[in-house]
Amino acid sequence: MASENPTASEYIQHHLQNLTFGQHPDGTWGIAHGAAEAADMGFWAIHLDTMGFSIALGLLFIWLFRKAAKKASAETPSGLQNFVELMVEFVDGSVKETFHGKSKVVAPLALTIFVWVFLMNLMDLIPVDFLPTLASLAGIPYFKVVPTTDMNATLGMAFSVFFLIVFYSIKVKGISGFIGELTLQPFGKWMIPFNLLLEGVGLIAKPISLALRLFGNLYAGELIFILIAILPFWVQWALSVPWAIFHILVIVLQAFIFMMLTIVYLSMAHEDH
């Protein structure tokens, strides 16, 4: 950190700063040492901690489910197999109840979103100083461990869903049908500019709302954990344990909401009027 005995403000800023890699104003490439340096790196800077944890947790998800599939047994199912089957049945039921089209992509996508987002959210339950302290001992100045508290990660996932919405809207309805949906409803051909404004805002709001909802809830939860960590040790335990128990609900709920909204949006994209 910036000093051995940081103030409360320095402590909070340090824990909210991503490990950013990019090009410095002098043309060299490297790690940013502070928010100002990170901002100077511009759009193409990469948050190494967000990328690293996102990829690692995605690989963990693939490995666990692949392991369960390879060792699946009808006679003596393992605990991992039971858990995987429970997740698959839960997501499959959600898709069947919500998605009214035919697609081989939606159910696997929904399962991936739910488990992956859940794992990323779950990192918020790790004590706020544990991994950053280990990272500082290794010479890493900043280390945020919750990818979904980074707007870049939530927007990236939301825009991926948005591109799928547009792709399936055009695939199912055709370009003319997609454009007609944006321009001819709800008030008919005599109100095309107004229709386009309403439908355009609604279309753009889908990825924005997906990203901001997930980011806002997890960022607020992480910030509360950081604020609790500033308090005396005995107060930390009195507050952090109840908040962590409550936050488990937020972690699961936000993963479920992101999955369900994705299913709903893709179902709407498959509906041809």
Q: What is the pLDDT of residues 248-261, one digit of tens each?
A: 999 999 999 999 99
* Whole-angstrom distance, CA of residue 219 vs CA of residue 226: 11
Q: Assess contact for 242 and 28: CB atoms under 8 A.
A: no
Q: What is the pLDDT of residues 17-36, one digit of tens each?
A: 999 999 998 889 999 988 88
Report if residue 188 sits inside a domain: yes
Report residue 110's pLDDT band, with 50, 70 and 90 as the boundaries.
very high
Report if residue 244 sits inside a domain: yes
How much is the average pLDDT of 184-190? 76
Report if residue 60 sits inside a domain: yes
Q: What is the pLDDT of residues 125-182, one digit of tens each?
A: 998 989 998 999 998 999 999 999 999 999 999 999 999 999 999 998 889 888 888 8
Report if residue 218 sits inside a domain: yes
Report residue 61's pLDDT band, with 50, 70 and 90 as the boundaries.
very high
Q: Which pLDDT does position 254 carry in this prediction?
A: 96
Report if residue 106 sits inside a domain: yes
Domain of residue 158 covers: 8-270
Q: Assess contact for 41 and 23: CB atoms under 8 A.
A: yes
Report if residue 2 sits inside a domain: no
Tell me the CA distances in angstroms from 164 to 12, 17, 135, 258, one per residue in order.
37, 31, 37, 15
> Cβ neighbours of residue 78 under 8 Å, at least 6 residues apart?
68, 71
Task: Choose, from 121, 209, 240, 267, the residue flagged as catalytic.
Answer: 209
Report residue 76's pLDDT band, with 50, 70 and 90 as the boundaries.
confident
Using the predicted structure, report yes or no on whether residue 5 has a pLDDT greater than 80: no
* Whole-angstrom distance, CA of residue 121 vs CA of residue 137: 25
How much is the average pLDDT of 222-239? 88
Task: Choose, from 54, 217, 240, 267, the residue flagged as catalytic.
Answer: 217
Higher per-residue pLDDT: 122 or 101:
122
Q: Which pLDDT does position 75 carry in this prediction?
A: 80
* Count of domains forming the chain: 1
- 5 tagged catalytic: no
- 217 tagged catalytic: yes
Report if residue 54 sits inside a domain: yes
> Cβ neighbours of residue 215 under 8 Å, at least 6 residues apart?
148, 149, 150, 151, 154, 155
Using the predicted structure, report yes or no on whether residue 2 has a pLDDT greater than 60: no
Helix axis angle, 192-230 to 151-183, nearest 10°:
160
Say whether 129 sits in a helix, a strand or coil. Answer: coil
Q: Which pLDDT does position 112 carry in this prediction?
A: 96
Q: Which pLDDT does position 50 carry in this prediction?
A: 96
Q: List the beta strands (DSSP E) in the chain.
A: 20-23, 29-31, 46-47
Q: Which pLDDT does position 144 carry in this prediction?
A: 93
Q: Assess contact for 157 and 114: CB atoms under 8 A.
A: no
Task: Choose, from 103, 152, 160, 213, the residue flagged as catalytic.
Answer: 213
Report if residue 3 sits inside a domain: no
- 209 tagged catalytic: yes
> Cβ neighbours of residue 94 under 8 Å, at least 6 residues apart?
110, 259, 260, 263
Higher per-residue pLDDT: 203 or 4:
203
